[in-house]
A and B are shown apart, each in its own frame.
Chain A
Amino acid sequence: MRRQLRSRRAPTLPHGYHYRLDDQDEVNQNYLADEEEEAEEEARMMGVPNLEKEEEEDLVEEEKEEKEVVQNEEEEGQGQPMGNTWWQKLQLINEYLWDPEQRRSLALTGQSCSLILILYFLFYASLAAVITICMYTLLLAISPYMPTFSERVKPPGIMIRPFAHSLNFNFNVSEPDTWQHYVISLNGFLQGYNDSLQEEMNVDCPPGQYFLQDGDEDEDKKACQFKRSFLKNCSGLEDPTFGYSTGRPCILLKMNRIVGFRPELGDPVKVSCKVQTGDENDIRSINYYPESASFDLRYYPYYGKLTHVNYTSPLVAMHFTDVVKNQAVPVQCQLKGKSIINDVINDRFVGRVIFTLNIET
């Protein structure tokens, strides 16, 4: 039935080709062997206005497609000389955009156009409603305090400071310009660790044990102090250049925060650095601050940024006091401890960090 309807419409061609409707119908009529169908056909022919409307609908289809093809061809055929057909096609597009004869734009009549607009408005409004509801339930279902899963972010990665795009520390001791930005970066980073600030905001909790805080999830949690002064020679308090001016740079190491992470079995995570490849003796001594070279247990667990507002990540400073000069020394710092993995091949920042020191004098 559908097919019949379609083919009964006059073929609608661009370029103002107009087949006579009745001619075409006659052709189709001839196809019909059945007299009954013939009668039906005639009845349909009576309703010519109806047919014309259908025709219009069809035109919509044709011309839209035509336009797409034209667009496409235009893109492909750039640079080709504009032939006559291009001009015709442009005219066609123009006519498609606004057809003054039939008073319609984009080949849509006013009524059909508004119906389509209403339909799409309703459809997209309900889709928007659906996604809003979905997102709302999703947010309701997920705790704002604790991530549902954290296996992707475990085991913890580490990062060093100063860090500016590069893990290569190239500087000339005698040229402050080459290391000044490290100092500024470290200073900036350590502002949050200033003793005064820490004492004001955070509590001094007992070392060597987890700082567990029971209570509701949504209760604000207290944070343990990590004072800048813990870093001694690398705190920038005594040596405001963090050793860079003497060719004995300080590099701070920070373990990534993970909500609820606890080094297992109560052993604190330790840091150790060595030459990654090459002569072991390129680094003759490293001083660690705090001297234990570890992240004290009292800084764990982390309760998440919503409730654990003032939490400051514990740091370990490495003070490279005697490194071979004028030569790039690759250094690998690793975390050591239970539940620490430091040999993932793909991720060079899980449990370890590799950087090069090239100190020129």
Chain B
Amino acid sequence: MKDIQNSGKEDGQEKSSRGRKDTCWNRKKNRQKQEIKEEPDLDDHKLSSEDLEKKYGTNIVAGLSSARAAELLVRDGPNALSPPKETPEIIKFLKQMVGGFSILLWFGAILCWIAYGIQYSHDPSSSLDNVYLGAVLAVVVILTGMFAYYQEAKSTNIMAGFSKMIPRQALVIRDAEKKTIPAEQLVVGDIVEIKGGDQIPADLRLLSSQGCKVDNSSLTGESEPQGRSCECTHDNPLETKNIGFYSTTCLEGTATGMVINTGDRTVIGQIASLASGVGNEKTPIAIEIEHFVHIVAGVAVSLGITFFIIAVSMKYPVLDSIIFLIGIIVANVPEGLLATVTVALSLTAKRMAKKNCLVKNLEAVETLGSTSIICSDKTGTLTQNRMTVAHLWFDNRIFVADTSEDHSNQMFDQSSGTWASLAKIITLCNRAEFKTGQESVPIMKKIVVGDASETALLKFSEVIVGDVMEIRKRNRKEMEAPINNTLYPACSILSLLQLSIHETDDPDDNRFLVVMKGAPERILEKCSTIMINGQEQPLDESSAEAFHTAYMELGGLGERVLGFCHLYLPAEEFPETYSFDTDAMNFPTSNLCFVGLLSLIDPPRSTVPDAVAKCRSAGIKVIMVTGDHPITAKAIARSVGIISANSETAEDIAKRLNIAVEQVNKRDAKAAVVTGMELKDMSSEQLDEILANHSEIVFARTSPQQKLIIVEGCQRQDAVVAVTGDGVNDSPALKKADIGIAMGIAGSDAAKNAADMVLLDDNFASIVTGVEEGRLIFDNLKKTIAYTLTKNIAELCPFLIYIVLGLPLPIGTITILFIDLGTDIIPSVALAYEKAESDIMNQKPRHKKEDRLVNRPLAIYSYLHIGLMQSLGAFVVYFTVYAQEGFRPGFLIGLRVDWEKDMNDLEDSYGQEWTRYQRQYQEWTGYTAFFVAIMVQQIADLIIRKTRRNSIFQQGLFRNKVIWVGIASQIIIALILSYGLGSVTALNLTMLRPQYWFVAVPFAALIWVYDEVRKFYIRRYPGGWWDMNMYY
């Protein structure tokens, strides 16, 4: 309770102090912050109900009139959060049309048409080839664009299901009648009744309340029940008790309230719209792909222009030079690659969806892989978001209870008599109940009516003792009474003692049993004896001492400790007919017998410690950012390994060395616990220092704004930051993070909307899977790109040699498209199925700016090594085909001009004469041969790209079956193109003699051998010169 108030004050102060600090942020950020800072402009909590009636023109008893409500509905719009602004579909589509290489291809297509225009103006009968080529290029762009758009749309559609909310109903008083209307139709001034279990349908100023408690977790992230009354208890509207916030839940009790804000104007609505105000960062993979596109486009354009100039200065007609330019661009641009990347990403997304990681934005698939810092919310993500009994203390001993998800393994000693008494108190002094009709549901999954602590106790006793409801029936409750604590305002369970009086189930014993639970020190005050080993003993100094030690120890673990005591009322004084009166308190409430302590904690999920350890070995820093207490946060951080067992915070060191915290060298402390209060006094440099100098950090009691600041701080360290969260309060940080991960079950819609990824099972461990998949896909994309880039040289060289040496054109533009969009597609996707070469989870995350997707060795090795070897092989096939038909290699050089003339008796090296069309056909045969040669060598290329470092034989040739599907598809497509469609003249392919298919095979083998040698030296001399220059 205190803390909640504290945090309220913190927020207030923070808002004022942040203004001064803003000078060190740049102006843009400042504006963002400013928005965030904006305090909800509410003073309704201070108004009296009369003023409220006046202000909103309503009547507390009769409510609004329907007509007035309809009017207001028109004025203010429906009471719903407006969905985040969607880019119109057509814009998305057009973006795909002009993104990446599309611009280059459009450029090529337009050049084609211009070339035709020039041709046409010279000779109206000129062939339409260029028009067709332009059309084909345009179609390629449109098709790949449509494909990418479809993939995008598919992945966003998955999310559409989430945003559909179940229509909620609200009980409203209108025209002096109670009506149930859809919550969307609520308007300001409506009088609404809420009861336990309802979600609050709008921001409400409470007018009356009966034991109303709300769970503000969607706002604060902490699911502590908070009492609600109609008095204004705090100046800050967020802290006052008489306002209920939209989308929070009413846990118990009933209340009536007046709607003061609806829709986007609610507090939640404001935070949610903040989230959409935070700019969406480009994903790392998008940056990488952009970088890669720049490289390739740069090479394409500069080569194109260089050779355009060369061609013009070699006295080629400008028209021809333009056509060369198109050829060079088409050869250079890997048309199919971006589509392949999309497919590879969506394959991984699918694989991750199977493991309960739903990816909203395809590119986010890789982001997890490069993540170097995870800022994790505590409640619900690291923990089960369920209070659970963690420790027991009785008989002067602390026992550990099983806090795993199913509680199956309760190991503590249950033979003691004290335990029997304690179990009885736990069972009886509890108002929580299971909802009916859940007989088949496992205990831990049963839905309970009651607050978190009582739920925990109920489930605990149900697991250990058995049927609680039956026991309660046998020990009929005579009376129950909360004993209000005058020191604390009635709100938290800790502030009051709960007492109930029961009959016993022992028929011979007709005494009444008084059981009581509550804050331990208060319980102890009420006790005069203590039960040890089933025997009541007087409460002396030493046992009080033992109690305090245990209490401190459990409290130090960040656990919520409850004390339990009981008293058998003497039958003489309290006969069976005795009537207990709550108000008169006609029963003893002191000199009870203290039985034991129970401590509750929201325990970590059992899979989390392992996952955190894995993250750590994967070089990922896990930072906890929570709204909870520092002590609890630290305890949880320790238990899940965010703060490892042997590391200390500055405070720990100070305590150990018995010196002041200020004297501790901050650098000695590996771990740090920073509270929101400390954070708000820090400059961004100080925050940077903390983030840089401590490997294990916990941020406690943070506000949504601070979460954002922490994320930004991490991003300043050049880190790729993942943020996990579930509440609306997390959504700005989720949006700001490089990858926001929302919880699928516990997560609010706002969080899911802001996130890039949704964990369907709310399991932190799924993130580890995501990291692994992300890293794998990054490595595999490298392979895919290397594979695809390689053949670009083999496609490009023909043009260059054609221009410089004047050979008949070895490969046509259309044929290049057949490789890029035909034979190469499936194999490059197949590389996405490749298994990891080594244990990728034991490596550091890649450095955003250093480990690029396409780096220099990759480009050079693909272009200048393998690519050149490929072109060599292809040229050998080309020369073979021409030589065997009559044009010997030497003869071909410089033949281009005559070859392309309209000359129908061109002599070959044997003196034979060829018509123009016969030569054309021969040229197409050359295209086909070149095409087949590239295809054959691409098979070798595909195999060598399976690994970057290991030998293919280490990786296993047959482990990835899809590779073989890819190879088969390559061969089959080539066969179909040559033999099936070889007679279609428009495709410029011919039926190739079977023997030519094998000419390039030795070159394919050579490529393989060469690459094995490269990998051998990389493995042999890791870190050496060869490794530096040849490892991509």
Q: Give the B-binding residues of A (Cβ under 8 A).
A: 1-7, 9, 11-13, 23, 26-28, 30-33, 54, 57-58, 60-62, 64-65, 68-69, 71-73, 75-76, 112, 115-116, 119-120, 123-124, 127, 130-131, 134-135, 138-139, 142, 144-150, 152-153, 156-159, 165, 254, 256-259, 302, 304-306, 308, 311, 344, 346-350, 353
- Residues from chain B with a CB closer than 8 A to the CB of A258 are 912-913
Contact present for B880 and A138 (CB under 8 Å):
yes
Cα distance A26–B718 in the bound complex, in angstroms: 14
Within 8 Å by CB of B621, from A31, A68, A123, lies A31
Partner of A152, one of B695, B911, B922: B922
**Chain A residues with Cβ under 8 A from B916's Cβ?**
347, 349
Residue ID in chain B nearest A112 by CB atoms: B1025
Report yes or no: A11 in contact with B695, Cβ–Cβ below 8 A.
no
Report the separation of the CA atoms of residues A5 and B694 in the bound assembly, to the nearest whole angstrom. Answer: 21
| Residue contact B619 to A11, C-beta cutoff 8 Å | no
- B951 CB → nearest A CB, Å: 16
Within the assembled complex, what's the spacing in Å between the Cα atoms of A9 and B844?
12
With A138-B876, A257-B907, A349-B904 given, can you name 8 additional A-B contacts, CB distance below 8 Å? A7-B845, A7-B851, A9-B850, A26-B693, A54-B1028, A149-B885, A157-B913, A305-B911
Among the listed A2, A139, A259, which residue makes an inter-chain contact with B1022, where contact means beta carbons less than 8 Å apart?
Answer: A2
A349 to B: closest C-beta gap in Å: 4
0/1 string, B1014-1032, CB within 8 A of A gives 1: 0000000011010011010
**Docked pose: A112 CA to B644 CA in angstroms:** 44
In the complex, what distance in Å separates the CA atom of A263 from the CA atom of B845?
Answer: 75
- Residues in B lying within 8 Å of A, measured CB to CB: 291, 294-295, 297-299, 301-302, 305, 616-617, 619-621, 644, 670, 692-695, 717-718, 843-847, 849-852, 855-857, 864-865, 868-869, 872, 875-876, 879-880, 883-886, 888-889, 902, 904-905, 907-918, 921-922, 925, 949, 985, 993, 1006, 1022-1023, 1025, 1028-1029, 1031
Given A1-B843, A2-B949, CB of A150 within 8 Å of CB of B886 = yes
Whether B865 lies near A30 (C-beta < 8 A) is no
Q: List 24 A-B contacts (CB under 8 A).
A: A2-B1022, A3-B845, A7-B847, A27-B717, A30-B694, A33-B616, A61-B856, A69-B291, A69-B298, A73-B294, A76-B301, A123-B865, A127-B869, A135-B876, A146-B910, A148-B885, A152-B922, A157-B905, A157-B913, A158-B904, A256-B913, A305-B909, A305-B910, A311-B911
CB distance from A116 to the nearest CB of B (A): 7
Which one of A31, A76, A130, A353 lies within 8 Å of B619 (CB-CB)?
A31
Q: Are A259 and B910 in contact (CB under 8 A)?
A: yes
- Across the interface, B872 reaches (CB within 8 A) one of A127, A254, A302, A346, namely A127
Q: When the two chains form their complex, are residues A346 and B985 in contact, meaning their CB atoms are under 8 A apart?
A: yes
CB < 8 Å neighbour of A159 from B295, B865, B905, B912: B905
Are A130's CB and B917's CB within 8 A? Answer: no
Residues of A within 8 A of B868 (CB): 124, 127
Nearest-Cβ distance from residue A346 to partner chain B, whole angstroms: 6
Report the Cα distance A16→B1027, complex, angstroms: 27
Q: Are B844 and A153 in contact (CB under 8 A)?
A: no
Task: Name the distance in Å between A215's Cβ and chain B's nearest Cβ.
Answer: 18
* Residue of B whose beta carbon sits closest to that of A143: B910
Q: Which of B844, B884, B902 interacts with A28 by CB under 8 Å? A: B844
The residue on A at minimum CB distance from B613 is A33
Q: A69-B294, A135-B879, A259-B911 are in contact. Are A30 and B670 (CB under 8 A)?
A: yes
Task: Report chain B residues within 8 Å CB of A27.
Answer: 692, 717
Are B301 and A75 in contact, with the CB atoms below 8 A?
yes
Question: In the bound complex, what is the Cα–Cα distance between A102 and B953 (angstroms)?
Answer: 43
Cα-based distance from A31 to B916 in the complex (angstroms): 70
Tell me whether B855 and A61 are in contact (CB under 8 A): yes
Q: Name the A residues within 8 Å of B865 (CB-CB).
A: 123
- CB neighbours of B913 from chain A (8 A): 153, 156-157, 159, 256-258
Contact of A142 among B888, B908, B993 (CB under 8 A): B888
For the complex of A and B, list the 10 residue pairs with the smallest distance between their C-beta atoms, beginning with the closest.
A305-B911, A72-B298, A30-B695, A157-B915, A347-B917, A256-B913, A3-B843, A148-B884, A349-B915, A147-B886
Determine the chain B residues whose CB is within 8 A of the CB of A142 once the complex forms. Answer: 883-884, 888
Q: Which residues of B contact A305 (CB under 8 A)?
A: 907, 909-911
Contact B670 A4 (CB under 8 A): no
In the complex, residue of chain B having the shortest beta-carbon distance to the beta carbon of A134: B876
- The reply to whether A33 and B298 contact each other, CB–CB distance below 8 Å, is no
A149 touches B846 (CB 8 A): no
Q: Are B856's CB and A2's CB within 8 A? A: no
In angstroms, Cα B886 to Cα A28, docked, is: 66
- Evaluate whether A150 and B912 lie within 8 angstroms (CB atoms) in the complex, with A7-B846, A26-B693, A33-B616 already known: yes
Complex Cα–Cα for A26 and B695 (A): 10
Judging by beta carbons under 8 Å apart, are B846 and A3 in contact? yes
Are B619 and A147 interface neighbours, CB within 8 A?
no
Contact A153 B918 (CB under 8 A): yes
Say which residue of B295, B914, B1023 sits within 8 Å of A256 (CB atoms): B914
Q: How far is the CB of B908 from chain A (nearest CB, A)?
A: 8
Tell me whether B911 and A65 are in contact (CB under 8 A).
Answer: no
Decide: B621 and A350 in contact? CB cutoff 8 A.
no
CA distance A54 to B1025 in the complex (A): 9
List residues of chain B with CB within 8 A of the CB of A69: 291, 294-295, 298
Inter-subunit contact A13/B849 (CB<8 Å): yes
User: Are B912 and A147 neighbours in the complex by a CB distance under 8 Å?
Assistant: yes
Interchain CB contact (< 8 A) of A3 among B617, B718, B851: B851
Residues of A within 8 A of B851 (CB): 3, 6-7
Q: Is the CB of B889 within 8 A of A138?
A: yes
| Nearest opposing residue in chain B for A145, CB measure | B910
Kindly report which residue of chain A lies nearest to residue B616, judged by CB atoms: A33
Given contacts A11-B850, A149-B885, contact A308 B880 (CB under 8 A): no
Q: Which residues of A are found within 8 Å of B619, using beta-carbon distances?
A: 3-4, 7, 31
The residues of B that contact A156 with a CB separation of less than 8 Å are 913
A65–B852 contact, CB under 8 A?
Answer: yes
Instruction: Known contacts A26-B692, A308-B911; decide if A2 and B1031 are in contact (CB<8 Å).
Output: yes
Shortest CB distance B954–A (Å): 16
Beta-carbon contact of B869 and A68 below 8 Å: no
Q: Hey, which chain B residues are within 8 Å of A12, CB to CB?
A: 850
Within 8 Å CB of B872, what residues of A? 127, 130-131
* Alpha-carbon distance A116/B1026, docked complex (angstroms): 10
- CB closest residue in chain B, given A156: B913
CA distance A83 to B850 in the complex (A): 27
**Which of B864, B911, B1025 has the most C-beta atoms of chain A within 10 angstroms of its own C-beta?**
B911
Return the chain B residue nearest A308 by Cβ.
B911
Give bound CA distance, A90 to B902, whole Å: 49
Min CB distance B35 to A, Å, is 29
Q: Which residues of B contact A72 (CB under 8 A)?
A: 294-295, 297-298, 301-302
Please name all residues of chain B whose beta carbon is closer than 8 Å to the beta carbon of A308 when the two chains form the complex. Answer: 911
Min CB distance, A68 to chain B, in Å? 5
Q: A23 — which chain B residues lie within 8 A by C-beta? A: 692
Contact A7 B918 (CB under 8 A): no
Evaluate contact between A6 and B847: CB separation under 8 angstroms. yes
Distance of A150 from chain B, by nearest CB (Å): 7
**How many angstroms from the CA of A306 to the CA of B301 in the assembled complex?**
45
Q: How far is the CB of B937 from chain A (nearest CB, A)?
A: 14
Contact flag A256-B294 (CB < 8 Å), given A3-B843, A127-B868, A308-B911: no
Asked if A131 meets B846 with Cβ closer than 8 Å, knowing A75-B301, A152-B885, A350-B918, the reply is no
Contact B670 A259 (CB under 8 A): no
With contact pairs A65-B855, A153-B918, A159-B904 given, residues A131 and B875 touching in the complex (Cβ less than 8 Å): yes
With contacts A28-B844, A138-B889 taken as known, whether A157 is within 8 angstroms of B914 at the C-beta atoms is yes
Complex CA distance for A259 and B718, rounded to whole angstroms: 72
Q: Most chain-A Cβ atoms within 10 A of its Cβ — which of B621, B1029, B1031?
A: B1029
Contacts of B875 in A (CB 8 A): 131
In the complex, are the beta carbons of B918 and A347 less than 8 A apart? yes
Are B912 and A153 within 8 A (Cβ)?
yes
B886 touches A153 (CB 8 A): yes
- A-side contacts of B886, CB under 8 Å: 147, 150, 152-153, 259
* Complex CA–CA separation, A30 to B668 (angstroms): 11
Q: Which of A6, A304, A344 contacts B850 (CB 8 A)?
A: A6
